[in-house]
Amino acid sequence: MSTPTEVPAALRAAVDEAKERVARLHAELPRWELVVWTAGNVSERVRGTAGDGSDDLLVIKPSGVSYDELTAGSMVVCDLDGNLVEGERAPSSDTAAHAYVYKHMDHVGGVVHTHSTYATAWAARGEEIPCVLTMMADEFGGPIPVGPFAIIGDDSIGRGIVETLTGHRSRAVLMRNHGPFTIGKDAKDAVKAAVLLEEVARTVHVSRQVGEPLPIEQQYVDSLYDRYQNVYGQH
């Protein structure tokens, strides 16, 4: 584990707030049955003062720590090269993947990785989830794509995520033989995507047990996506 440096004073308040949010959001993963034991992680970007992303940081859980033990104080802070900036424990083994996504997708403010059962089952088959539900059109704008097989520990997974999601509406990717990653404007948004991903993965799987699901025509997918993203809810 690298030696921690120091959180810049100008980012201190933002980092502390992110730690609180990320700690709370980790509790949502077992609540929605998206993880078992210590698997899975949530991270959030803390934007720096340079304005070009060069001094951005990320907050993520430590590796191998029980969800019941996670607090704001136990969260780990890293730079976008995956180097430890603050924390007493080793960062999540997926930190390099998260860091790579932030470094190469500037619009992303939150990343979530789970091993949720149904989404991971699709990933094990290396099969995208077809867009056969209005919920999918609303939230993901089409099918859920499959990313390449990649080994944990370096930025290979991050590269696969970025390659797969660049130019794609989906905020979720099924990394082959591994599991789902979701992105969002912040950590809460990415957690929401992870919850809805598992719901559609389960529903489409169940549908296929009794017959072949009917695809939604592209014009309606486009219309549903536009309405949900730009009209639905409070703005």
Active site positions, annotated: 138, 232
Asked whether 47 and 74 are in contact (CB, 8 A), the reply is no
Asked whether 41 and 63 are in contact (CB, 8 A), the reply is no
Beta carbons within 10 angstroms of residue 203's beta carbon: 17
Alpha carbons 141 and 169: distance in angstroms, whole number: 5
Alpha carbons 70 and 57: distance in angstroms, whole number: 20
HEC per residue, 105-119:
CCCCCEEEECCCHHH
Dihedral of the alpha carbons of 177, 178, 184, 188, in degrees to the nearest 10? 140
Alpha carbons 147 and 191: distance in angstroms, whole number: 19
Gyration radius of the chain over CA positions? 18
SS3 (DSSP) at 123: helix
Q: Residues with Cβ < 8 Å from 209, sequence gap 6 or more? A: none
Beta carbons within 10 angstroms of residue 26's beta carbon: 25
